[in-house]
A = this chain, B = another copy of it.
């Protein structure tokens, strides 16, 4: 049926099979690959992660998968961050175009550094690092305890306090900063009584220097809230406009750094906050 269908085909082009290959988690391979793929917004990709390829035997099984994909109608593409030389060489036998991260960068970096890379599977800073693990745990636990203004206890221990009306992106940004960067983040939701004046709410008033104000567009806030409580006053465009207008007046009044979550991902907001903290030091 393939040939006839191909001629009649009028739908979108078929997805390009993309493989992320790694002798570790594959997070680097995914990050690298997706940084490239995002530059092709008109194409569709069918992504598959194959992590922990740690032996030549396993690499052979992966090559069989890649070769099968290469027999399909669309040329597949693989990104590999495999560091171990014999595994890398085995993967390069596949009949599938392969962006070989270590093959391309390792020698260049070795010559710049004047040192030989060990070429072993990347071990992430394992949980074996007890001090680092405990620091992150403490940050995550602090974030959980202080999510959504649940606790005002030890608010002065916060490195960062995110202030915003409900659903502007406080919680995921808080968790990201805690988990990835070990930063103590509290978040403080603005509620009805806070909108009456342009004053910072009592509990955070003395901590202005750690506060960041989040905002978004009324349309987006309304859309997000509607998913949660459809057709409520809480989700109405009017209420969302009012809350954001009052919140922004409060941020201006206290000269808080302001971040608009409608145009930024959690990672981008976190980076802006980290940069602001760094510049203050």
State the A residues within 8 Å of B (CB).
16, 24-28, 31-32, 35-43, 49, 51-52, 75, 77, 81, 83, 97, 99, 101-102, 104-106, 108-109, 112-113, 115, 117-120, 122-128, 130-131, 133-134, 136-137, 140-141, 144, 147, 169, 171-172, 175-176, 178-179, 216, 220, 223-224, 227-228, 261-272, 275
Q: Which residues of B contact A32 (CB under 8 A)?
A: 28, 31-32, 101, 105
A122 CB to nearest B CB, Å: 5
Interface-central residue, A27, A43, A131, A269, by most chain B CB under 10 Å: A27
Judge whether A39 and B127 touch: CB under 8 Å.
no
Interface-central residue, A77, A134, A169, by most chain B CB under 10 Å: A134
Extra contacts, 13 of them, besides A39-B117, A137-B172 (Cβ < 8 A), are A28-B35, A38-B122, A39-B119, A40-B113, A77-B112, A104-B105, A126-B262, A126-B263, A127-B220, A127-B262, A140-B175, A175-B175, A175-B179
A165 CB to nearest B CB, Å: 14
Known A108-B99, A172-B136; contact A26-B271, beta-carbon cutoff 8 A: yes
A182 CB to nearest B CB, Å: 10
Q: Which residues of B contact A175 (CB under 8 A)?
A: 140, 175, 178-179
Q: Which residues of B contact A77 (CB under 8 A)?
A: 109, 112-113
A81 CB to nearest B CB, Å: 6
Q: Which residues of B contact A123 (CB under 8 A)?
A: 38, 265
